[in-house]
Structure 1
Amino acid sequence: MRKKTHFCVSPLALLAIVASLFLFSCSKSNDVPAVEQPDAKVEALISYLEGKGFEKNKIVVKGDQFIIDSDILISRADLEARVAEEAKSGPSDEHRRGPYLVSNTYNTNIRLYIDPAVPAAWRTAIQGAVANWNNITNTRLGMSIVTSSANSDCRVFMGFESASWIARAYLPASNGRPGVSVEINSNYNSLPATQKLFAITHELGHTIGFYHTNQTTGTLIPGTPTTDANSVMNSFVLNWNGFTSGDVTATRILYPQ
C-alpha cells in the first residue's frame, strides 16, 4: 500500500581515488531498501515472478524475502514451493488473484494477533478492517482478533522505513495458510483514520490472496470488472468508502459459502 509520492534520484558520480575508479550510485537511500546481489537461484525465482506479470524493477530481494510492488511479501521458501508445485501440476488457471488461496481449514476464521506495540489508532483500524471483511455476506470468509500469538495465523506489527509504503503483507502460502504477517510503517502514523482503515483492509486482502486491481499482475477473477478505480485493492491509499461491488463479487467467487 503506497502513497502517491515522487522521488528525485541524483546522477551517478565517478570518483577517482588513488588512481582507481569507483562507481557510486547516489539515490535517496531511505526510499529504497538494501538489495542483495541476486545469485542464480534468486534470478530464477525473479524470472518466475516476471512470468506471473510482475515487473522486475518492482521486485526487491531482502534476505529471504521477496518484496513486490512495495507491499506484497513472499518468503523464498514459499516461492520455491510454488515453483515446485507448478512444475508438477501446472499453474492455476483461473478484480485479480494470486496462485494460492486460504484453504477451508483456515478461511472461516483467520486469526489475527495485534502486537502490543501497535498504537491505538492503528489498532482501531485493524478492528475496523476485520469487521469490513466479516460484513461481506454470502461467503465463508471470516476473521477474528486473538490475544495470543501462539494461537494466531497472522501477526500485525509495527516497523519503520522512510519510504513510500504504508503497510505490507504476505500472500497466502502454498500450504493453504493465510499470509503470516502485516507490517505497518510507523512513518505514516499521522495518516487520517479513514485512510488507515483503507490501508489495513487492503493488506488483509493480500493475506487472503488478492493482488492489486489497478495493475496487470495476477489472474483476472472471472465475473469481476477489469477496472475498478475505487476497489479496496487499489495500490494507492484512498479514503475508506466501503467495498465496491467488484470487491464483494471477487470475495464471493474466491470464498463461496
Structure 2
Amino acid sequence: MKKNAILSTCVLLLTTLLFSCQKETSRNMSEHTKEKIPDEYLNTFNLLKNEKGIPAASISYEAQTKEFIAGDMVFTAALYNNIMYTQQHPKTEQQWNNVFVSYASSQHILYYLDPSLFPYYYFGPLEWAVWYWNGSSPNISFTRTGDRSAANLIVDSYNDPTDSSWIRTTLPAGNGNVGNRIRLNLGVNERNHYVNHITSSNEEKLLLMMHALGHTLGYLHADQYAGLLIPGTPDPAFHQANACGSVMRSVTYVCGWGYDGIKRWSPSDITAIQWGYRYKY
C-alpha cells in the first residue's frame, strides 16, 4: 500500500514536471516566434490578430517566404503595407480592398498547374472547381496556362505528414493581386487517398478545390474568427452549426455539389460573391 502511495506520488510529480516543461517550452517558442517577426511586418501580424480575429497562437511566421500561416491560410507579410500604401482600385460595384478584407482586382486569372507536383487524381476536381467559380461572377475568370512565368497562381504540392493541413492557400496580397499559390499537402492526401480513403470521392476533392480557390479570391473561413463579417452573411455561429452554409467553412462538406454543372451556392455564398465580385444571377 505504501509502495503504491509512493509510486502514485512520483507519477504525479513527474506528470506535473512534464506539464510545466511543456508550458515553458510553448511559452518560449511563442516568444521566439514573435522575435523572428521583423518590425516592418508586425503591422500585418496585428492586422490578422486584431482585425481578422485570428488568434495569435494560431499564426506562425515563415522567415524564408516572408509569410504568415494560419491553418490552411497563408498571408504575405507585406499585406498591411500593400493595403495602406498601394493605390487602391476605386470602389464601384465591387469592394476590392479595405483595412479588414483584401480581395483580388484581377479579373482574368491565369493559373499554372504543375503536373510534376500536383497529383493526377485532383486534376478533374480542380477543373470543375474552376468552372463553378467562373460561373459565379462576371468578374471571376480562372484560365489555365502552360506558361508558369505568366501565371498569377501556381498550383502544386508539398509533403509534410506532420502538418495536419490538407492544403495551404495564399490569400490576396492587398495590392489587387490574387492569392498566388495553392499547395496540396501530399503527406496527408497521399496517405488518406491510398489507405484511409477519407477523401476518396471526387466530390470531396471538388469541395476542397472550391474552398482553396475561394481563399485565393480573398474569402476567409465562414465559421471562424471574429473579424469583419461580410454584410448580409450569417455570423460564424450559424456556419458552425450548418455544414452546408458555405463552401468556405473550415471543414467542407459535399452538400450536393458534383460533376453535374448545377450551381449549389448557399445564400451566404451568393451574398459574399455579390459583395466581393458581383454575383452572376
Partner in structure 2 of residue 110 of structure 1: 109
2:216 equivalent to 1:207? yes
Is residue 2:98 matched to residue 1:92?
Answer: yes
Cα distance, 1:240 vs. partner? Answer: 5.2
- Say yes or no: does 1:241 pair with 2:242: no
Structure-2 separation of matches of 1:207 and 1:139: 17
Which has the larger helix fraction? 2
CA distance in 1, matches of 2:38, 2:146: 42
**Correspondence 1:179 to 2:179:** yes
Rg comparison, structure with higher value: 2
Structure 1 runs, 4 residues or longer, greater than 6 Å off: none
Structure 1 residue 77 and structure 2 residue 92: aligned? no
Higher relative contact order (CA 8 A, sep 6+): 1
Q: Relative to structure 2, which stretch is displaced further, 110-119 or 185-194?
A: 185-194
Q: Which amino acid aligns with 1:235?
A: S
- Give the C-alpha shift of residue 126 in structure 1: 1.1
Q: What is the root-mean-square deviation of aligned Cα atoms in Å?
A: 3.1
Distance 1:124 1:37, change over 3 A: farther
**Hey, which of these two has a bigger chunk of strand by percent?**
1
Q: CA deviation at 1:47?
A: 2.4
* Paired residue type of 2:123: R
Partner amino acid, structure 1, of 2:178: P
Q: Aligned residue for 1:67? A: 69
Alignment of 1:138-177 (within 5 A): 139-161=138-160, 162-177=162-177
- Taking a change above 3 Å as real, the CA distance of residues 173 and 46 of structure 1, as seen in their structure-2 partners, is closer
What TM-score, normalized to structure 2?
A: 0.69
Q: Which moved more, 1:239-248 or 1:144-153?
A: 239-248
**Corresponding residue for 1:28?**
none
- Paired residue total: 223
Offset at residue 135 of structure 1 (A): 2.5
TM-score, reference length from structure 1: 0.75
Partner of 1:250: 272
Q: Gaps spanning 5+ residues in structure 2: where?
A: 1-17, 27-31, 88-96, 194-198, 258-264
Matched-pair contact (CA < 8 Å) for 2:86–2:175: no
Identity across aligned pairs (percent)? 24
- Aligned counterpart, 1:58: 58
Tell me the amino acid that sits aligned with residue 249 of structure 1: T
Q: Tell me by how many angstroms 1:197 deviates.
A: 1.2
